[in-house]
Amino acid sequence: MNGSTVEHIPVLAGTLAGQITLPPDGVMVDATIGQGSHSYLFGKILGPGGVLIGLDVDKNAIREAQSKLKGLSCKVVLLCSNFSQITRQVHEQGIEKVDFILADLGVCSSQLADVEMGLSFQTNMPLDMRIDKRIKSTAADIVNKADEKSLADLIFKFGQDRASRRIARFIARQRSIEPITTTGQLATIVSKALKRPGRKLKPRIHPATRTFQALRIAVNNELENLERLLASGPELLKKKGYIAVISFHSLEDKLVKSSFKQNENQGVYKLITKKPIVPTRNEIAENRRARSAKLRIAQKQ
Ligand SMILES: C[S@@+](CC[C@H](N)C(=O)[O-])C[C@H]1O[C@@H](n2cnc3c(N)ncnc32)[C@H](O)[C@@H]1O
């Protein structure tokens, strides 16, 4: 399936728009432009004197956002770049500081459906998981080459799966018979590892969810990139500028929470959200991807 035919529904978009005040000549950086749906909402507030900079590591996303945002009156600059490079990218545009940084983490629905991304356990596809195709190692490389202990540690650290050792053992056993090259193969192996007499699996999530999360985080170096992005906020934001982050699992949210808190303690940020904002039941019913979303917003003082 070609992922670009799948429309991505932006998460918590209305809630977010209600919390952020953006001047018409302001500068916004959408660190994860995706299909450009969040940016489109804010881009409409920016006038001809405003600038919208969008970053994404996936060049297909840049292409999709380009078509979505072409009618906006503000200046739109879309760059295929990792958000860990946000400060350099903004400065290269001759801009010192910005009014709003938005990061809607994770992947778009179109990327999950894209066979070339190799992210999904719902559909069988080559086991890749590189959102940025410039990255060298795929998920298949890790699954087939990492020693069993490193694999177990990775699944535990980034997937928080307590059955990590057993999963790694099953993977090691299976790859000694044949290489693991597809998402379907991996999902089956993990499901078998977790199926034990008397053990009840959580019915709401697929047994391979945590292992897939762990591999995606490892392949794309997601937590380190997020830490770099969060560290850029204080320097890059203007006074009264906002940083908003939508995260989708506790490892991401923990980093956002602790960075915002630390900056609040140092008098650098004011927390706009004391507790994270989560989607309503209605939003979750309309968009299942929203179910684990958490939005945190801070304002530079
Ligand atoms: C959830 S989608 C964003 C959707 C977007 N808010 C919209 O309304 O269409 C997340 C996007 O972030 C991109 N991404 C993930 N990690 C990134 C990184 N480190 N740097 C830049 N973009 C990244 C993904 O390629 C994906 O397109």
- What are the pLDDT digits (tens) for 90-126? 999 999 999 999 999 999 999 999 999 999 999 999 9
Distance 166 CA to ligand 1 centre (A): 32
| Closest ligand 1 atom to Cα of 131 | 25
Report the 3 state secondary structure along the chain.
Answer: CCHHHCCCCCCCHHHHHHHCCCCCCCEEEECCCCCCHHHHHHHCCCCCCCEEEEEECCHHHHHHHHHHHCCCCCEEEEEECCHHHHHHHHHHCCCCCEEEEEEECCCCHHHHHCCCCCCCCCCCCECCCCCCCCCCCCHHHHHHHCCHHHHHHHHHHHHCCCCHHHHHHHHHHHHCCCCCCEHHHHHHHHHHHHCCCCCCCCCCCCCCHHHHHHHHHHHHCHHHHHHHHHHHHHHHEEEEEEEEEEECCHHHHHHHHHHHHHHHHCCCEEECCCCCECCCHHHHHHCHHHHHCEEEEEEEC
Q: What pLDDT does 205 receive?
A: 82
What is the pLDDT at residue 1?
A: 47
Q: Render pLDDT for 236-261 as a digit per residue (tens, 0 to 9).
A: 999 999 999 999 999 999 999 999 99
Mean pLDDT of 41-64: 97
Q: How far is the CA of 147 from the centre of ligand 1 (A)?
A: 31
Which residue of 63, 108, 135 sits with most ligand 1 atoms within 8 Å of its CB, as the best mutation to test the pocket? 108
pLDDT band of 289, cuts 50, 70, 90: confident
- Computed over every residue of the chain, the mean pLDDT equals 95
Res 4 pLDDT > 80: no
The ligand 1 atom at the shortest distance from the C-alpha of residue 37 is 8
pLDDT score, position 6: 76
Q: What is the pLDDT of residues 205-227, one digit of tens each?
A: 899 999 999 999 999 999 999 99
- Tens-place pLDDT, residues 146-202: 999 999 999 999 999 999 999 999 999 999 999 999 999 999 999 999 987 666 666
- Centre of ligand 1 to C-alpha 104, Å, is 6
Nearest atom in ligand 1 to the alpha carbon of residue 36 is 9
Average of pLDDT values for 273-282?
A: 96
pLDDT (average), residues 119-144: 97
Q: Nearest C-alpha to atom 22 of ligand 1 is from which residue?
A: 56
Ligand 1 centroid – CA 140 distance (Å): 22
Going by pLDDT thresholds of 50, 70 and 90, the confidence category of residue 294 is very high
**Burial zone of 207 (CB within 10 Å; 0-12 exposed, 13-18 middle, 19+ buried):** buried
In this predicted structure, what is the pLDDT of residue 202? 61
Q: Atom 13 of ligand 1 has which residue's CA nearest to it?
A: 32
**Average pLDDT score over residue span 26-51:** 97
Contact 24, 52 (CB under 8 A): no
pLDDT, position 199 = 65
Look up the pTM and report it.
Answer: 0.95
Proportion of the chain above pLDDT 90, given as a percent = 92
Q: How far is the CA of 208 from the centre of ligand 1 (A)?
A: 22
pLDDT of 43 higher than 70: yes
Share of the chain above pLDDT 70, in %: 96
Ligand 1, atom 9, residue with closest C-alpha: 35
The Cα–Cα gap between 44 and 210 comes to: 38
Question: What number does the ligand 1 atom closest to the CA of 65 have?
Answer: 9
Summarize the confidence of residues 122-133 as an average pLDDT: 97
* Res 196: pLDDT: 75
**Ligand 1 pocket: which residues have CB below 6 Å?**
8, 10, 32, 34-38, 55-58, 61, 82-83, 104, 106-108, 131, 225
Distance 90 CA to ligand 1 centre (A): 17
